[in-house]
Structure 1
Amino acid sequence: MRIFLLLIILSLSILACRKQGPQLNSGIHDDLVETKLAKDSLQKMDVILEKLDKKNTTFLDYYFHNYYELDQETSDEIRKLKGEQFIYDADDEYFKLYTKTATQKGEEYLKSLGITEEEEHLALEVYILHLKQRYGPTIDGRLQTLNKQ
């Protein structure tokens, strides 16, 4: 009986250790600490990073998809729907359609991650002020690949 209890305790402790291992976005957290992000903003960013971890999404993947891939998807969708010439000829109509489509896609993406609009704004501000210098070249490289498609 003792051995059985010891095995159960050992199994539970192994499972608990597995859950506490490094998270997908722990490097971003460490970078934000290093850049001396204010404690309250860091706590809010940790909530965002946790949500991304639960969806198995890195912060950089989230950022790139939210600000670049969705833009590309929106433009491609309008191009297919209305044609290439529409983009160049229908200034106001194009921008209204683009804004409506991009907003809808962005809201759906944020909802799928459980990220609020306020959190999105914080994440953007934190990226620009604290992470862009370090990760800008990575994003730029991915952007070049996106533009070649």
Structure 2
Amino acid sequence: MSTSREGDRDRDEEGRARNARPRDGLGRPLPHGAAGVDRQPEGVVRTAAQSVAEAQALLDAGQPFHAHEVFEDAWKSGPDSERGLWRALAQTAVGLTHAARGNATGGARLLRRGADGLVEWQGEGQGVAPAGLDTAGLVRWAQELADEVERSAEAVDAAAVAPRLT
């Protein structure tokens, strides 16, 4: 990403506004010049298996915001028939991000929304999810974490509570 500062806004090569500030592992912007976590490149086309493997590595590292970006790429570049699946996975990753940032309300809401989207991928409706995704396990994980986040209202350790995708 190129960062021309037109009108004091970071822009990419196409002129779209992009925030070039470094980010922490939970995607929060840091001051310019601070050491941050490498950003996920946008628009990368991966196979389903590559998306799952990369997202799992990011989740295990406590970087659910960055895992959400991998899921978002799959949602935007994958087959139309799988868009709902990848969108639901992105929502669970954003839910975990909010829960790790201490936003219990937003975290629980997005975890549940993602779980609802994954329900139809449990072998019924749309069919079996690609790349060995354990959608039934992910639905349970998201619902249980949403309940826990609401009960405790405390930030969670994203790496410690990260789901197993397969």
Tell me if TM exceeds 0.5: no
Higher RCO (CA 8 Å, separation ≥ 6 residues): 1
TM score, norm. by length of structure 2 = 0.24
- Say which structure is richer in helix: 1
